[in-house]
Amino acid sequence: MSETIPDTSPFALFEDWFAAARASEPNDPNAMALATATPDGLPSVRMVLLEGHGPAGFVFYTNFHSRKGGELAANPHVALLFHWKSLRRQVRIEGPILEVTPAEADAYFASRHPESRLGSAASDQSRPLADRQVYLDRVAALRETFPDGSVPRPAHWSGYRVRPVRIEFWQDRDYRLHERRQFNADGAGGWTSTLLYP
């Protein structure tokens, strides 16, 4: 059984695998698990959507007032996990985060469906909610003010770019003889690579 995860640019390899996922995954091929931790090291994880990627990093958006927003502010190091079950592949990414520019956040927010923009602006994400109707009423009130959905991006809603220091590609193999290749940033703009035992 020969190896099939090449020793190449991890970003080019991710693009190849991501393209295959977009062609085969039935729902949200850009879904990824985002792991954060408190300053005390208590972890939490949730699914978010990848909204941009390349050599500069991997971008997602969130409400800075949410639980994950608070954890990201206190401990700006994260781990990402893509799991594409139909391809029997996964990619793990670790690194620090940097906030995207206001122009990037504005452009992405404006690209969202109008109802999604209204929902984001109306939400006190992760805060207790006495009744779902309270939230729906807030969305409706914003819809009256902004009938075309052109609500401005809230100042507390923006994005982060994960600057990877480690990227691992995993390919499922029969009998659990899996294949793994890990890329590590070398600190000078390049990458080193090694296979890992499964």
- Asked if pLDDT for residue 114 goes beyond 70, the answer is yes
Backbone angles phi, psi at 63, to 5 degrees: -90, 120
The beta strands (E) that lie in the chain are given as 31-37, 43-49, 52-54, 57-63, 77-84, 89-99, 157-162, 166-171, 179-185, 191-196
Closest C-alpha to 126, from 188, 66, 45, 72: 66
Task: For residue 43, give the amino acid letter.
Answer: P
> Is residue 50 a contact partner of residue 25, using CB atoms and an 8 Å limit?
no
- In this prediction the pTM is 0.92
Look at residue 81 in the predicted model and tell me its pLDDT. 98
Look at residue 1 in the predicted model and tell me its pLDDT. 47
The lowest-confidence range among 1-5, 43-47, 101-105, 116-120 is 1-5
- Asked if pLDDT for residue 3 goes beyond 80, the answer is no
Task: For residue 167, give the amino acid letter.
Answer: I
List beta partners, residue 160. 60, 99
Q: How do residues 153-189 score in pLDDT, each as one tens digit?
A: 999 999 999 999 999 999 999 999 999 999 999 999 9
Tokens matching residue 155: 């100042």
DSSP designation for 124 = -
Task: For residue 62, give the amino acid letter.
Answer: T
Helices (H) and strands (E) in the chain — how many of each? 5, 10
Cα–Cα distance for residue pair 139/89, rounded to 1 Å:
38
Band of residue 4 on the pLDDT scale cut at 50, 70, 90: confident
Q: What HEC string does 70-85 produce?
A: HHHHHCCEEEEEEEEH
3-state class (DSSP) for residue 136: helix
- Asked if pLDDT for residue 26 goes beyond 90, the answer is no
The domains of the chain, with CATH numbers, are: 10-113+155-196 (2.30.110.10)
Cα–Cα distance for residue pair 155/106, rounded to 1 Å:
10
